[in-house]
Structure 1
Amino acid sequence: MSTHLYFANNSIRNTTITCDSLGIHYNVSKTGRIISLSRWDSKNNLDVTVGEFELPFFKKDRIKVGPNGQWQDMRDYFDKSGSFLTSKTFTSNNGMNYTWKEHWGKMIVRSTRIHRARLTDDALIKYHRNMSDSYLEVLDSSTLTDLDTILLAFLITERKRRNKQKQRRSARASGGGP
Protein backbone atom coordinates (compact mmCIF):
# COMPACT_ATOMS: atom_id res chain seq x y z
CA MET A 1 0.00 0.00 0.00
CA SER A 2 1.30 3.44 -0.88
CA THR A 3 1.55 6.54 1.29
CA HIS A 4 0.36 9.93 0.07
CA LEU A 5 2.05 13.20 1.00
CA TYR A 6 -0.42 15.98 0.21
CA PHE A 7 0.44 19.52 -0.89
CA ALA A 8 -1.75 22.29 0.56
CA ASN A 9 -1.66 23.99 -2.87
CA ASN A 10 0.15 23.77 -6.21
CA SER A 11 2.86 26.24 -5.22
CA ILE A 12 6.45 25.05 -5.01
CA ARG A 13 7.45 28.19 -3.09
CA ASN A 14 4.83 28.45 -0.33
CA THR A 15 3.00 25.32 0.76
CA THR A 16 2.87 22.52 3.28
CA ILE A 17 3.44 18.83 2.52
CA THR A 18 1.74 16.47 4.96
CA CYS A 19 0.76 12.92 5.76
CA ASP A 20 -1.22 13.21 8.99
CA SER A 21 -1.46 9.46 9.55
CA LEU A 22 2.36 9.20 9.73
CA GLY A 23 2.90 12.55 11.46
CA ILE A 24 4.83 13.96 8.47
CA HIS A 25 4.67 17.75 8.18
CA TYR A 26 6.94 19.84 5.94
CA ASN A 27 6.73 23.56 5.30
CA VAL A 28 7.97 25.26 2.14
CA SER A 29 8.42 29.03 2.36
CA LYS A 30 10.01 31.78 0.33
CA THR A 31 11.82 34.74 1.84
CA GLY A 32 13.31 37.06 -0.75
CA ARG A 33 14.95 34.77 -3.30
CA ILE A 34 15.56 31.90 -0.86
CA ILE A 35 13.18 28.93 -0.78
CA SER A 36 13.35 26.97 2.48
CA LEU A 37 12.14 23.49 3.37
CA SER A 38 11.60 22.65 7.04
CA ARG A 39 10.26 19.56 8.81
CA TRP A 40 8.23 19.54 12.00
CA ASP A 41 10.00 17.51 14.68
CA SER A 42 7.30 16.04 16.93
CA LYS A 43 9.75 15.18 19.74
CA ASN A 44 10.81 18.78 20.25
CA ASN A 45 7.73 20.44 18.72
CA LEU A 46 10.03 22.55 16.50
CA ASP A 47 10.55 23.12 12.80
CA VAL A 48 13.96 21.84 11.66
CA THR A 49 15.49 23.31 8.51
CA VAL A 50 16.00 20.57 5.92
CA GLY A 51 17.57 22.81 3.31
CA GLU A 52 17.38 25.98 1.28
CA PHE A 53 17.96 26.87 -2.32
CA GLU A 54 18.12 29.88 -4.60
CA LEU A 55 17.53 29.95 -8.35
CA PRO A 56 18.65 33.48 -9.31
CA PHE A 57 18.25 34.65 -12.89
CA PHE A 58 21.75 36.00 -13.55
CA LYS A 59 23.81 34.06 -11.00
CA LYS A 60 24.58 30.41 -10.32
CA ASP A 61 21.92 28.35 -8.58
CA ARG A 62 22.92 27.37 -5.07
CA ILE A 63 21.79 25.00 -2.32
CA LYS A 64 22.30 24.53 1.41
CA VAL A 65 21.46 21.10 2.88
CA GLY A 66 20.68 20.65 6.56
CA PRO A 67 20.26 23.15 9.38
CA ASN A 68 24.01 23.82 9.58
CA GLY A 69 24.90 23.27 5.93
CA GLN A 70 27.05 25.58 3.86
CA TRP A 71 25.94 27.20 0.61
CA GLN A 72 27.31 25.40 -2.43
CA ASP A 73 26.89 25.53 -6.18
CA MET A 74 23.89 23.43 -7.14
CA ARG A 75 25.90 21.78 -9.92
CA ASP A 76 28.29 20.49 -7.24
CA TYR A 77 25.42 18.95 -5.27
CA PHE A 78 23.70 17.13 -8.12
CA ASP A 79 25.36 14.42 -10.22
CA LYS A 80 26.56 15.80 -13.54
CA SER A 81 25.46 12.83 -15.66
CA GLY A 82 22.31 13.17 -17.72
CA SER A 83 20.38 16.29 -18.59
CA PHE A 84 20.49 18.76 -15.72
CA LEU A 85 17.19 20.40 -16.72
CA THR A 86 15.13 17.23 -17.06
CA SER A 87 16.52 15.07 -14.27
CA LYS A 88 18.36 15.52 -11.00
CA THR A 89 20.52 12.75 -9.51
CA PHE A 90 21.62 13.21 -5.92
CA THR A 91 22.82 11.33 -2.86
CA SER A 92 20.42 11.33 0.09
CA ASN A 93 21.29 11.95 3.71
CA ASN A 94 21.48 8.12 4.15
CA GLY A 95 23.87 7.58 1.23
CA MET A 96 21.36 6.26 -1.36
CA ASN A 97 21.45 7.62 -4.93
CA TYR A 98 18.15 8.84 -6.35
CA THR A 99 17.04 10.55 -9.55
CA TRP A 100 14.02 12.80 -10.01
CA LYS A 101 12.91 12.64 -13.63
CA GLU A 102 9.89 13.42 -15.78
CA HIS A 103 8.32 10.20 -17.09
CA TRP A 104 5.15 10.21 -19.21
CA GLY A 105 4.15 13.62 -17.89
CA LYS A 106 4.70 12.76 -14.21
CA MET A 107 7.67 13.45 -11.99
CA ILE A 108 9.05 10.24 -10.50
CA VAL A 109 11.98 9.37 -8.27
CA ARG A 110 14.04 6.27 -8.91
CA SER A 111 16.99 4.57 -7.33
CA THR A 112 19.38 2.57 -9.45
CA ARG A 113 20.38 -0.56 -7.55
CA ILE A 114 22.11 -3.80 -8.37
CA HIS A 115 19.59 -6.61 -7.94
CA ARG A 116 20.46 -10.22 -8.78
CA ALA A 117 23.29 -9.24 -11.13
CA ARG A 118 21.14 -6.88 -13.17
CA LEU A 119 20.39 -3.20 -12.94
CA THR A 120 16.88 -2.29 -11.78
CA ASP A 121 15.36 1.14 -12.08
CA ASP A 122 11.95 1.11 -10.39
CA ALA A 123 9.80 4.14 -9.55
CA LEU A 124 9.79 4.72 -5.80
CA ILE A 125 7.77 7.94 -5.63
CA LYS A 126 5.40 9.58 -8.13
CA TYR A 127 4.20 13.17 -8.14
CA HIS A 128 0.54 13.60 -9.07
CA ARG A 129 -0.29 17.20 -9.93
CA ASN A 130 -3.97 18.03 -9.92
CA MET A 131 -5.79 21.34 -9.70
CA SER A 132 -7.48 20.44 -6.40
CA ASP A 133 -5.09 18.05 -4.66
CA SER A 134 -1.49 17.41 -5.63
CA TYR A 135 0.42 14.71 -3.82
CA LEU A 136 3.50 12.53 -3.77
CA GLU A 137 2.68 8.84 -3.87
CA VAL A 138 5.35 6.93 -1.95
CA LEU A 139 5.44 3.45 -3.48
CA ASP A 140 8.38 2.16 -1.44
CA SER A 141 8.23 2.93 2.29
CA SER A 142 12.01 2.57 2.65
CA THR A 143 12.34 6.00 0.99
CA LEU A 144 10.64 7.66 3.97
CA THR A 145 13.98 7.71 5.83
CA ASP A 146 15.45 9.78 2.97
CA LEU A 147 12.45 12.09 2.63
CA ASP A 148 14.29 15.28 3.63
CA THR A 149 16.71 15.25 0.69
CA ILE A 150 14.18 13.66 -1.69
CA LEU A 151 11.73 16.53 -1.08
CA LEU A 152 14.43 19.19 -1.34
CA ALA A 153 15.58 17.77 -4.70
CA PHE A 154 11.94 17.47 -5.82
CA LEU A 155 11.24 21.15 -5.15
CA ILE A 156 14.28 22.17 -7.21
CA THR A 157 13.50 19.77 -10.07
CA GLU A 158 9.83 20.72 -10.23
CA ARG A 159 10.64 24.44 -10.07
CA LYS A 160 13.06 24.07 -13.00
CA ARG A 161 10.52 21.94 -14.93
CA ARG A 162 7.81 24.58 -14.43
CA ASN A 163 10.18 27.38 -15.47
CA LYS A 164 11.07 25.46 -18.64
CA GLN A 165 7.37 24.87 -19.37
CA LYS A 166 6.65 28.57 -18.86
CA GLN A 167 9.46 29.51 -21.27
CA ARG A 168 8.04 27.15 -23.92
CA ARG A 169 4.55 28.66 -23.58
CA SER A 170 6.00 32.17 -23.78
CA ALA A 171 8.00 31.29 -26.92
CA ARG A 172 4.89 29.83 -28.61
CA ALA A 173 2.82 32.88 -27.69
CA SER A 174 5.39 35.25 -29.15
CA GLY A 175 5.74 33.38 -32.43
CA GLY A 176 8.34 30.78 -31.52
CA GLY A 177 11.62 32.51 -32.24
CA PRO A 178 13.62 34.83 -34.50
Structure 2
Amino acid sequence: MNKEKLNYKIIERTSGTFQGTLQTACLEIYGEKELLNQFIYSWLGVIQYIGQSPFRKFHKRKNWFIEISEVSELKEINILETEIKYQAVRSQGPGGQKVNKVNTAVRATHLPTNTSVFVMDSRSQFQNKKTARDRLIEKIKLKNYENLKSQIQEKWNHQTDIQRGNPIRVFTHKY
Protein backbone atom coordinates (compact mmCIF):
# COMPACT_ATOMS: atom_id res chain seq x y z
CA MET A 1 0.00 0.00 0.00
CA ASN A 2 1.36 3.44 -0.94
CA LYS A 3 0.98 5.41 2.31
CA GLU A 4 2.85 8.42 0.92
CA LYS A 5 -0.41 9.50 -0.76
CA LEU A 6 -2.14 9.83 2.63
CA ASN A 7 -1.87 12.92 4.80
CA TYR A 8 -2.95 13.58 8.36
CA LYS A 9 -3.70 16.42 10.71
CA ILE A 10 -3.78 16.17 14.51
CA ILE A 11 -7.18 17.41 15.67
CA GLU A 12 -6.80 16.79 19.37
CA ARG A 13 -4.46 14.95 21.70
CA THR A 14 -4.14 14.38 25.43
CA SER A 15 -0.70 13.89 26.95
CA GLY A 16 -0.09 10.88 29.17
CA THR A 17 1.25 10.97 32.69
CA PHE A 18 4.80 10.26 31.55
CA GLN A 19 6.77 12.61 29.33
CA GLY A 20 6.55 11.65 25.67
CA THR A 21 3.39 9.54 26.05
CA LEU A 22 -0.15 10.03 24.79
CA GLN A 23 -3.34 9.10 26.53
CA THR A 24 -5.51 9.76 23.48
CA ALA A 25 -5.13 11.23 20.02
CA CYS A 26 -7.59 12.17 17.31
CA LEU A 27 -6.29 12.40 13.75
CA GLU A 28 -7.88 13.47 10.52
CA ILE A 29 -6.52 11.31 7.72
CA TYR A 30 -7.17 12.33 4.14
CA GLY A 31 -6.18 11.26 0.68
CA GLU A 32 -7.48 9.18 -2.20
CA LYS A 33 -10.75 7.64 -1.00
CA GLU A 34 -10.06 4.01 -1.94
CA LEU A 35 -6.55 4.05 -0.47
CA LEU A 36 -7.81 5.90 2.59
CA ASN A 37 -10.58 3.38 3.30
CA GLN A 38 -8.19 0.47 2.81
CA PHE A 39 -5.69 1.98 5.26
CA ILE A 40 -8.23 2.99 7.91
CA TYR A 41 -10.13 -0.29 7.95
CA SER A 42 -6.89 -2.25 8.24
CA TRP A 43 -6.23 -0.47 11.56
CA LEU A 44 -9.72 -0.26 13.13
CA GLY A 45 -10.07 -2.38 16.26
CA VAL A 46 -7.90 -3.35 19.20
CA ILE A 47 -4.12 -3.52 19.00
CA GLN A 48 -2.08 -5.49 21.52
CA TYR A 49 1.43 -4.55 22.60
CA ILE A 50 3.28 -7.31 24.43
CA GLY A 51 6.29 -6.20 26.39
CA GLN A 52 7.59 -4.40 29.42
CA SER A 53 6.62 -0.74 29.47
CA PRO A 54 9.70 1.50 29.32
CA PHE A 55 7.78 4.00 31.46
CA ARG A 56 6.67 1.51 34.14
CA LYS A 57 9.67 -0.82 34.38
CA PHE A 58 8.56 -2.67 37.51
CA HIS A 59 4.93 -3.11 36.53
CA LYS A 60 3.92 -6.77 36.21
CA ARG A 61 1.59 -6.30 33.26
CA LYS A 62 3.05 -7.27 29.91
CA ASN A 63 -0.07 -6.96 27.71
CA TRP A 64 -1.14 -3.44 26.76
CA PHE A 65 -4.20 -2.72 24.62
CA ILE A 66 -4.99 0.23 22.37
CA GLU A 67 -8.29 0.81 20.62
CA ILE A 68 -8.40 2.52 17.25
CA SER A 69 -11.88 3.66 16.29
CA GLU A 70 -13.47 5.93 13.73
CA VAL A 71 -15.72 8.92 14.28
CA SER A 72 -17.86 10.35 11.53
CA GLU A 73 -16.02 12.76 9.34
CA LEU A 74 -16.24 16.50 9.77
CA LYS A 75 -18.69 17.51 7.08
CA GLU A 76 -17.75 20.20 4.61
CA ILE A 77 -20.08 23.11 5.22
CA ASN A 78 -21.65 24.63 2.14
CA ILE A 79 -24.18 27.26 3.09
CA LEU A 80 -26.30 28.54 0.26
CA GLU A 81 -27.45 32.15 0.29
CA THR A 82 -31.03 30.91 -0.18
CA GLU A 83 -30.80 29.05 3.16
CA ILE A 84 -30.18 32.28 5.07
CA LYS A 85 -33.03 34.53 6.12
CA TYR A 86 -32.07 38.15 6.82
CA GLN A 87 -34.19 40.46 8.91
CA ALA A 88 -33.45 44.17 9.31
CA VAL A 89 -34.29 45.46 12.78
CA ARG A 90 -33.60 48.52 14.88
CA SER A 91 -30.39 48.52 16.84
CA GLN A 92 -30.47 48.31 20.59
CA GLY A 93 -28.74 50.32 23.28
CA PRO A 94 -27.49 53.91 23.37
CA GLY A 95 -27.32 56.01 20.24
CA GLY A 96 -30.18 58.46 20.38
CA GLN A 97 -32.61 59.06 17.56
CA LYS A 98 -30.49 57.38 14.87
CA VAL A 99 -30.74 54.01 16.66
CA ASN A 100 -34.47 54.36 17.22
CA LYS A 101 -35.38 55.46 13.67
CA VAL A 102 -33.30 53.38 11.25
CA ASN A 103 -33.32 49.58 10.79
CA THR A 104 -29.58 49.02 10.43
CA ALA A 105 -29.11 45.96 12.65
CA VAL A 106 -29.41 42.55 10.97
CA ARG A 107 -30.52 39.17 12.29
CA ALA A 108 -29.39 36.31 10.04
CA THR A 109 -30.89 32.85 10.48
CA HIS A 110 -29.70 29.66 8.81
CA LEU A 111 -33.00 27.89 8.15
CA PRO A 112 -31.83 24.21 8.05
CA THR A 113 -30.05 24.42 11.42
CA ASN A 114 -32.15 27.24 12.95
CA THR A 115 -28.92 28.98 13.98
CA SER A 116 -29.00 32.76 14.14
CA VAL A 117 -26.77 35.75 14.84
CA PHE A 118 -27.57 39.38 15.56
CA VAL A 119 -25.23 42.12 14.28
CA MET A 120 -25.36 45.86 14.91
CA ASP A 121 -21.66 46.72 14.59
CA SER A 122 -22.00 49.28 11.82
CA ARG A 123 -24.41 52.06 10.84
CA SER A 124 -24.65 50.43 7.43
CA GLN A 125 -27.26 47.71 7.00
CA PHE A 126 -25.27 46.29 4.07
CA GLN A 127 -22.10 46.01 6.17
CA ASN A 128 -24.04 44.43 9.06
CA LYS A 129 -25.57 41.91 6.64
CA LYS A 130 -22.13 40.92 5.37
CA THR A 131 -20.77 40.63 8.93
CA ALA A 132 -23.83 38.61 9.98
CA ARG A 133 -23.28 36.12 7.14
CA ASP A 134 -19.61 35.66 8.09
CA ARG A 135 -20.44 35.19 11.78
CA LEU A 136 -23.26 32.79 10.97
CA ILE A 137 -20.96 30.59 8.89
CA GLU A 138 -18.36 30.66 11.66
CA LYS A 139 -20.99 29.76 14.28
CA ILE A 140 -22.23 26.80 12.22
CA LYS A 141 -18.64 25.58 11.69
CA LEU A 142 -18.04 25.83 15.43
CA LYS A 143 -21.22 23.83 16.14
CA ASN A 144 -20.07 21.18 13.67
CA TYR A 145 -16.65 21.01 15.34
CA GLU A 146 -18.25 20.79 18.81
CA ASN A 147 -20.38 17.90 17.55
CA LEU A 148 -17.21 16.11 16.40
CA LYS A 149 -15.56 16.78 19.78
CA SER A 150 -18.57 15.28 21.59
CA GLN A 151 -18.26 12.13 19.43
CA ILE A 152 -14.58 11.91 20.37
CA GLN A 153 -15.47 12.36 24.06
CA GLU A 154 -18.12 9.64 23.77
CA LYS A 155 -15.51 7.24 22.35
CA TRP A 156 -13.15 8.20 25.17
CA ASN A 157 -15.85 7.55 27.80
CA HIS A 158 -16.16 3.97 26.52
CA GLN A 159 -12.43 3.23 26.50
CA THR A 160 -12.80 0.66 29.28
CA ASP A 161 -15.04 -1.41 26.97
CA ILE A 162 -12.07 -2.52 24.85
CA GLN A 163 -12.41 -6.12 23.67
CA ARG A 164 -9.07 -7.55 24.75
CA GLY A 165 -9.46 -11.11 23.48
CA ASN A 166 -9.23 -10.64 19.73
CA PRO A 167 -6.66 -8.02 18.65
CA ILE A 168 -6.37 -7.19 14.96
CA ARG A 169 -2.62 -6.55 15.29
CA VAL A 170 -0.05 -7.68 17.84
CA PHE A 171 3.30 -6.03 18.41
CA THR A 172 5.92 -7.76 20.56
CA HIS A 173 8.90 -6.11 22.17
CA LYS A 174 11.85 -8.50 22.59
CA TYR A 175 14.13 -8.06 25.59
1 or 2, which has the higher helix percentage? 2
1 or 2, which has the higher strand percentage? 1
Which is greater in Rg?
A: 2
TM-score by length of 2: 0.25
